[in-house]
Each structure stands twice: as structure tokens, then as C-alpha cells.
Structure 1
Amino acid sequence: MSRDEGPNVPDERLTAVLRPVRAGNGFEEALEQILQVVRLGLVPGGERLPAERELAEQLGISRVTLREVLRVLQDQGLVESRRGRYGGTFVLARADAGGEDELRRRVAAVDIEDVLRFREVLEVGAAGLCAAHRLDAERGARLREALRRTHEAPLGDYRRLDTLLHLTLAELCGSPSLTAQYAAVRAQVNELLDCIPLLVRNLEHSQRQHTALVEAVLDGDADGARNIAREHCAGTAALLRGFLA
């Protein structure tokens, strides 16, 4: 991650989530966005958040306001501040206390069907838009790189990199509103996925779908991209319904 003394280059993993907040609710909206970063696992436990200067610029807030946000996250046991040359704000690993029962309690109030349907609408729409408008070479390379990372991901890191792939697709569709809505619903989906086990066979199937989806998008096949995205969402929905219904 970047350091305060280093070049202020935005972390590409976070560009789909972090955006300038609106005047009037700067603290609340900044807190919401950084919570999404943590909940989505975009910065894994043990790794450092971007430097304060970078975060403040991306969010369009003062460093004083940012420090108030980080203090709340620290009080909630989500991050910790470390001093020294290699210091900064580090994301804490999620506690396992309570296990599956605790996770089930956390999502008990979630309308699973609503979350899954909204996710499908956004993912199918994003895939179709990316394919219909054709990605230029730079954006196509970003999508290919996000896919490559999922293929090389160790099992314990798969869901984070899978999330990054889908966030990249949402960001590349060209609609900041869709991207923001997708980041929010994906955070809810990840909360649900935390309640079920990682199944190697399902991951292999998902990877084949990911590859087909990226190929359809890069080929400009909007109908094909939408159909693959819809099928992919349906597979995840079936697993979640099976384990949690």
C-alpha cells in the first residue's frame, strides 16, 4: 500500500468503492465507504489502508474528518493504528468467535431474495453495457488482469479476488451510480457467502463462467455477456438458498 512519504497514486482495488462524498454528510458517507472496503475484503486483514492523504483526497474530505472516521473503525475493532516508519492504519482480521451461528445471526434480518435479485439486475446490466460499448485496450487489460488474479488465487483469498473481478466489471460499465449500488449489494452478498463453505467444484465452475463472461464482454457480445452473468448469479443464488433457506 502507499505511504505518506511516497507518490500519491490511488489504490486501483478501491476506485470502484471510494468516491467523493456529498457536502453535508461527509463523515457519515466516508464511514460508509470505508466500511464497504473492509466488509468487501478489498484490503485483507493484516494489510494497511491507503495513506491518510490519499484516502482524504479520494473521499473529498479533510484529514481531520478522516481521522474521526478511522477512530470509529478502531473503536469497533475493525482497524488498528500503528506508529513508526512502517505504521499506518491496518485492517484487523475478522474474528471467528461464534462461527457460523454468529454469522447467521448477523444476516438474519437480510431479505435474501431481494439482495440476490438486485445483484442479478446490476451484474447482468453491467456485463451488457461493457460488451455493448466495447472496452478500449486499457480497460480490457484491466478486466483481463482481474480475471487472471482469480485464476491464480489461493483458496483463502478467492472470494476477495472474485469480488474485485465483479467490481471491476461494474466500474468499467461507465455508470458510477450502478457501480456504487453494486458495491453496496456485493457487500451484502459477501456477508451471506461468509455463512457457507467454499466448495472447490463450485469455484471451478465459477471460474469457467468468469472466463466465458470476460471473453463475451471483450468480443462485444452483449447478449452472451448478459446470459452468462445471469447464469453465474443463478448459481450463487442456488447455493445460498440451499445453505441458508
Structure 2
Amino acid sequence: MSEPRDAGGDRLPGGDEGLSTVLRPVRAGSGFEEALEQILQVLRLGLVSYGERLPSERELAERLRISRVTLRDVLKVLQDQGLVESRRGRYGGTFVRYRAGALADADPGAAGRDELRRAVARIDVADVLRFREVLEVGAAELCASRELTAEEEDRLQICLAATNDAPLGEYRRLDTRLHLTLAELSGSPSLAAAYAGVRATVNDLLDRIPLLVRNLEHSQNQHAALLDAILEGDTDGAREMMREHCAGTASLLRGFLT
């Protein structure tokens, strides 16, 4: 499969992993609001990294099925908030200034824990984590039950390898890409879209706690076992491994909340 390219023929940053899950046609009558929400999800999920270029205006408008005028209004809001910047010239475009997971490698200390508690007060964490588990476990089971193509299997292996080789500051973004790919390959666009939303909320919480190397090593072992189960068509094994993996994330968050 050829890699997606922007209007100038350059490969889009990060390929297309996750973008097709998040960027979907918006409903008539709420184009501006839904387009803003979806592009914010792209930033919060780290699907386009800090300093990299968003897809071209033409591609974004086509994916979202909105006019270029509406899209420019959305990008203007993001620029006013300091989340993106516009550059002119041959190598211009809209570049990301938001750094997904920027807080993740810092020692949270008392101030960080207070910030996490304030974030938690705004959402029902238990409900978010339950919903995330239902979606992730379902996606893993569906993936294992499907006859994945060689290309789809390669996508999973590439995503897993990227998390194995990731620098600490990039890990959460690449971990998100792996999970989004699993959701997309479940074969249910509705499940994938719902997962993108809940994952953004989970990342908002995870970005406020430190990345623990030992925990990441454990997560990587689970990722490898999960992919083995999926590629072997072991639905029970895939479901239980994903359930265990989600439980680990939930425990980690509870640990920092108490």
C-alpha cells in the first residue's frame, strides 16, 4: 500500500496510523465544532508529533467533508491557543506545537498529584476505565476472530516494534498508535471511533503521572503476548491478555490517586 502524501507530494508525518480512525466526516450543522474536536483528538493522542506537519488543508477538508473556509476557522482557533502554528513557503503548512505526554516524564510531586486530582474531579474515572476495558477487550477478541490480511498483520508488528524501540518521551504516543490500530482492525468503525474518544481521556490522566520503566517493560511483554494470541486466532487468550493489560493501567492510576 502506498504511503499517504500531502499536496506537495511529501509523505505525511507518521503515515496514516490512527488518523483514519479519528478524522471522520462530520455531521451537517455542526461541522466547525466536530472538526475542532477531531483535530484536538489528533493532537491529544499524539498522532502527529510535536514539530511535525498536519495533513494538508485539502486532505483535512476532504477527510472531514467540510469547506476549506470552515477548516481555516478551526485551524485559526488552534493557532490562537498556541497548539499549532502556520508557516508559509515551499515547506510551509500547519505544524504541531502541542507536545502530547509532555508531563509524563516529569516527577509529579505534590503539585502534579494535585493537578491529577483536579482532573479526576471533572470526570468519572471508574466509568472511563470500565468503558475503555470493554472496548479494548472487545477489539482484541474481534481482531483474533478475523482473518487478518498480511498487510494488517504487518501493521500490528510495525506498531509493536515502534513501542519496543521508543524513547521514553515518545512511548505513550506510540503505545496509543498500537491500541488505535487494534481498534481499527477490529472491523467495527463504531468501536474504533468510541475507543479514540475514551483513549484521549485516559491519556489526559496518564500524562499527569510519570512513566515508570518497569511498568513499561511489563506492558511490552503483555503487548507481545497479545499480538501472538491475535495472530494465532486465540480469541480467549487475546481477550484475557487485554483484560489484564487494562487492569494494570487502572491499578497504576489508582495508585497515584490514593
Q: TM-score, normalised by structure 1?
A: 0.93
- 1:21 & 1:150 partners in 2: Cα distance? 31
Aligned 1:179-194 pairs, distance under 5 A: 179-194=192-207
Identity fraction in percent:
72
- 1:179 & 1:76 partners in 2: Cα distance? 28
Q: Does 1:158 align with 2:158?
A: no
User: Which runs of no fewer than 5 residues in structure 2 stay unpaired?
Assistant: none
The residue matched to 1:128 in structure 2 has which SS?
helix
Return the letter of the residue paired with 1:190: N
Contact conserved, 1:134 with 1:217, CA < 8 A, in 2? no
The residue matched to 2:121 in structure 1 has which SS?
coil
Q: CA RMSD in A?
A: 2.0
Q: Does 1:33 align with 2:38?
A: yes
The residue matched to 2:22 in structure 1 has which SS?
coil
- 1:116 corresponding residue in structure 2: 129
- 2:16 corresponding residue in structure 1: 12
Q: Does 1:81 align with 2:86?
A: yes
Of residues 29, 33, 37, the one that matches 1:24 is: 29
- 2:231 & 2:118 partners in 1: Cα distance? 41
1:135, distance to aligned residue in structure 2 (A): 1.1
Contact conserved, 1:17 with 1:36, CA < 8 A, in 2? yes
- 1:126 corresponding residue in structure 2: 139
- 2:70 corresponding residue in structure 1: 65
- 1:91 corresponding residue in structure 2: 96
- 1:44 & 1:9 partners in 2: Cα distance? 11
The residue matched to 1:21 in structure 2 has which SS?
coil
1:9, distance to aligned residue in structure 2 (A): 7.2
Aligned 1:212-231 pairs, distance under 5 A: 212-231=225-244
- 2:202 & 2:173 partners in 1: Cα distance? 12
Q: TM-score, normalised by structure 2?
A: 0.89
Q: Does 1:205 align with 2:242?
A: no
- 1:27 & 1:103 partners in 2: Cα distance? 30
Count of residue pairs the alignment pairs up: 244
- 1:121 & 1:39 partners in 2: Cα distance? 22
1:120, distance to aligned residue in structure 2 (A): 0.2
